[in-house]
């Protein structure tokens, strides 16, 4: 296990000692920009660490869970459909893309009598969007698959679709319903011993709530390096990894894809009693939200972060924790499970908790920052806490109300990978320090983007987001205080451009 300190484990120390430890910490918060949209608000804000607003988007409809800032400074945001036929928790169904000025420049719907986007989406590197969706089945269909205790007229399963917003079509889909197992009736499909099928979901696991809610997935994330998808389940208290490298046809079965298991579950963690390889004593998650892969290049890359809400049944000992899981791998890089045991590991490699203080019984999430800190959102409180690797709090801030999740982004926007006709401005190719106040400093030593082989290119220019030149730039300081806050592009005569964000 990685060396770390849990704040909760310091409870035997005097409060004064705790204060000294905190003040002695040299760690700093990650210097980034946080995109915030409380659940009761139609407004998104991009804020600095000290709470100043860099940009505001007024969206006119509630967010379904959380928005995503894109490399070109647009935002993908799932919001409430104007006439949803299904109404799950964190109901969405209308996915929109906003430019910096707040205009909707792209949108699509994922809503109907048997499906609707809810909670989360995940923009992909190729420009497509992974959509987390309900997948509705009738009571008769559920009973035909072996479900026993169902009193509602339907059951809400889950599906994931990859949607191409440029072609306005689904290009890949995966349905949990194709990967079930049951041990109640040998005449019905997918009969087998539950413990022998950890890569499938027992259709009788968990309760069906009065609305038909069964899985209640709440977050989805994508690992580009391995072409994997992970999602978390509120009701079943575990998360699941599936193979995105499959075709849609392969995703319906148990063969194909990079891992050779089709659309079956490659890995799961949090509640092994769901697949007959543990008891209630082995349950680790008590409601789980916000699962995501730690990105390549960051401390813990490839591991998984999840917010364990800690809503333990029948007790008053409720507290939350953020846990980092390192899935065991075999020699071929597959997810390893012993024939007679649950998926490992037995313990997370890193964890943060502070019983009595740090708690949110639902919502919430956590992300790893480039400097090694972990950025955590207590959703029900609408509160951010950032800690270093030892568990020392280095930054916190209220968000203005209950918040599904929020992400802090690097001040340098990264470079996109797809030419998008809806964005008419110049396409960035190199990086430039993004946040500028007062003056923009250009010169061969500071901004290689604006220098050619023989020195500074003549008459570099600053362009607005539509590609219109707003001023010429010169070597040295350029006063930009007369320009409105927003996204601009610094362009050299060579045609190379870099993104700049001007703020007051």
Other Cβ atoms less than 10 A from the Cβ of 171: the count is: 12
pLDDT for the residue 285: 98
Q: Residue 13 — pLDDT band, cuts 50, 70, 90?
A: very low
pLDDT for the residue 27: 81
Q: Residue 139 — pLDDT band, cuts 50, 70, 90?
A: very high
pLDDT single digits (tens) 161-207: 999 998 999 999 999 999 999 999 999 999 999 999 999 999 999 99
Other Cβ atoms less than 10 A from the Cβ of 328: the count is: 13
Q: Residue 460 — pLDDT band, cuts 50, 70, 90?
A: confident
Q: pLDDT over 70 for what percent of the chain?
A: 85
Residue 412, pLDDT above cutoff 70: no
pLDDT for the residue 454: 31
Cβ proximity of 290 and 234 under 8 Å:
no
- Specify the DSSP class assigned to residue 193: -
Q: What three-state secondary structure class fits 93?
A: strand
Query: Per-residue DSSP letters for 290-305?
Result: EEEEPPTTSTTTT-EE
pLDDT for the residue 504: 67
pLDDT for the residue 16: 28
Q: Residue 458 — pLDDT band, cuts 50, 70, 90?
A: very low
Q: Residue 56 — pLDDT band, cuts 50, 70, 90?
A: very high
Instruction: Report how far residue 93's alpha carbon sits from residue 479's, in angstroms, rounded to the nearest whole number.
Output: 44
Q: Residue 469 — pLDDT band, cuts 50, 70, 90?
A: confident
Of 500, 355, 375, the residue nearest 441 (C-alpha): 500
The arithmetic mean of pLDDT across residues 298-309, rounded, is 97
Q: What three-state secondary structure class fits 177?
A: helix
The per-residue pLDDT of the chain, averaged, comes to 86
More confident residue, 456 or 286: 286
The arithmetic mean of pLDDT across residues 336-355, rounded, is 97
pLDDT for the residue 493: 57
pLDDT for the residue 497: 67
The dihedral region occupied by 187, where left means phi > 0, alpha psi between -120 and 50, and beta the remainder, is alpha
Residue 447, pLDDT above cutoff 50: no
Q: pLDDT over 90 for what percent of the chain?
A: 72
pLDDT for the residue 368: 98
Q: What three-state secondary structure class fits 274?
A: helix
Instruction: Report how far residue 431's alpha carbon sits from residue 500's, in angstroms, rounded to the nearest whole number.
Output: 9
Of the listed ranges 22-26, 277-281, 283-287, the least confidently predicted one is: 22-26
- Specify the DSSP class assigned to residue 43: E
More confident residue, 373 or 487: 373
Instruction: Report how far residue 129's alpha carbon sits from residue 422's, in angstroms, rounded to the nearest whole number.
Output: 16
The arithmetic mean of pLDDT across residues 25-31, rounded, is 76
pLDDT for the residue 240: 99
pLDDT single digits (tens) 370-380: 999 999 999 99
Cβ proximity of 311 and 320 under 8 Å:
no
Residue 430, pLDDT above cutoff 50: no
The arithmetic mean of pLDDT across residues 14-30, rounded, is 46
- Specify the DSSP class assigned to residue 334: P
Residue 274, pLDDT above cutoff 70: yes
Residue 319, pLDDT above cutoff 70: yes
- CA-to-CA separations, 165 to 131, 162, 171, 348, in angstroms, rounded: 11, 10, 10, 37
Residue 66, pLDDT above cutoff 70: yes
Residue 14, pLDDT above cutoff 60: no
Q: Residue 443 — pLDDT band, cuts 50, 70, 90?
A: low
Residue 33, pLDDT above cutoff 70: yes
Residue 406, pLDDT above cutoff 90: yes
To the nearest 10°, the Cα dihedral for 389, 393, 395, 398? 120
Segment (H or E) for 459: none
0.85 exceeded by pTM: no
- Specify the DSSP class assigned to residue 340: T
Residue 289, pLDDT above cutoff 70: yes
Instruction: Report how far residue 68's alpha carbon sits from residue 157's, in angstroms, rounded to the nearest whole number.
Output: 25
Instruction: Report how far residue 150's alpha carbon sits from residue 68's, in angstroms, rounded to the nearest whole number.
Output: 37
Residue 152, pLDDT above cutoff 60: yes
pLDDT single digits (tens) 212-264: 999 999 999 999 999 999 999 999 999 999 999 999 999 999 999 999 999 99
pLDDT for the residue 333: 94
The arithmetic mean of pLDDT across residues 355-374, rounded, is 97
Long-range contacts of 139-145 (CB under 8 A, 24+ apart): 142/203, 144/188, 144/189, 145/177, 145/180, 145/182, 145/188, 145/189, 145/190, 145/203
Residue 110, pLDDT above cutoff 50: yes
Q: What three-state secondary structure class fits 243?
A: strand
């Amino acid at each position: 296990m990685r060396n770390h300190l849990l704040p909760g484990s310091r409870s035997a120390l005097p409060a004064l000692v705790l204060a000294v430890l905190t003040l002695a910490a040299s760690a700093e918060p990650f210097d980034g920009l946080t995109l915030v949209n409380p659940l009761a608000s139609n407004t998104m804000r991009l804020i600095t660490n000290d709470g100043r607003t860099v940009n505001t988007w007024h969206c006119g409809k509630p967010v379904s869970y959380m928005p995503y800032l894109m490399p070109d400074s647009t935002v993908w945001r799932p919001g409430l459909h104007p006439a949803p036929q299904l109404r799950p928790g964190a109901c969405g169904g209308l996915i929109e893309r906003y430019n910096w000025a707040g205009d909707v420049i792209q949108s699509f719907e994922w809503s109907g009598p048997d499906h609707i986007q809810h909670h989360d989406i995940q923009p992909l590197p190729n420009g497509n969007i992974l959509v987390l969706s309900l997948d509705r089945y009738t009571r008769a269909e559920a009973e035909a698959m072996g479900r026993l205790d169902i009193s509602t007229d339907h059951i809400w399963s889950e599906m994931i679709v990859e949607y191409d917003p440029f072609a306005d079509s689904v290009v890949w889909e995966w349905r949990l319903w194709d990967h079930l197992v049951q041990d109640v009736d040998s005449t019905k499909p997918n009969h087998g011993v539950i413990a022998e099928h950890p890569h499938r979901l027992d259709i009788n696991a968990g309760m069906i709530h009065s609305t038909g809610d069964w899985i209640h997935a709440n977050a989805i994330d994508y690992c580009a390096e391995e072409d994997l998808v992970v999602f978390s389940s509120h009701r079943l208290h575990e998360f699941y990894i599936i193979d995105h490298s499959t075709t849609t046809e392969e995703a319906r079965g148990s063969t194909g894809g990079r891992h050779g298991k089709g659309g079956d579950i490659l890995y799961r963690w949090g509640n092994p009693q769901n697949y007959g390889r543990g008891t209630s004593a082995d349950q680790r998650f008590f409601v789980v939200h916000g699962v995501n892969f730690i990105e390549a290049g960051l401390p813990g890359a490839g591991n998984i972060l999840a917010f364990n809400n800690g809503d333990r049944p029948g007790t008053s000992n409720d507290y939350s924790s953020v846990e980092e899981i390192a899935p065991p791998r075999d020699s071929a890089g597959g997810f390893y499970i012993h024939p007679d045991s649950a998926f490992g590991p037995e313990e997370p490699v890193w964890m943060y908790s502070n019983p009595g203080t740090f708690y949110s019984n639902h919502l919430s999430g956590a992300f790893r920052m480039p400097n090694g800190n972990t950025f955590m959102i207590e959703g029900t409180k609408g509160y951010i806490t950032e800690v270093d690797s030892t568990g020392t709090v280095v930054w916190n801030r209220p968000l203005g109300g209950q918040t599904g999740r929020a992400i802090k982004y690097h001040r340098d926007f990264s470079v996109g990978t797809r030419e998008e006709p809806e964005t008419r401005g110049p396409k960035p190719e190199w990086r430039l320090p993004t946040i500028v106040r007062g003056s923009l400093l250009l010169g061969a030593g500071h901004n290689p983007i604006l220098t050619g082989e023989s020195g500074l290119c003549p008459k570099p220019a600053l362009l607005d987001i539509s590609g219109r030149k707003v001023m010429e730039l010169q070597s040295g300081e350029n006063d930009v205080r007369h320009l409105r806050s927003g996204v601009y592009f610094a362009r050299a005569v060579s045609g190379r451009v870099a993104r700049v964000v001007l703020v007051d």
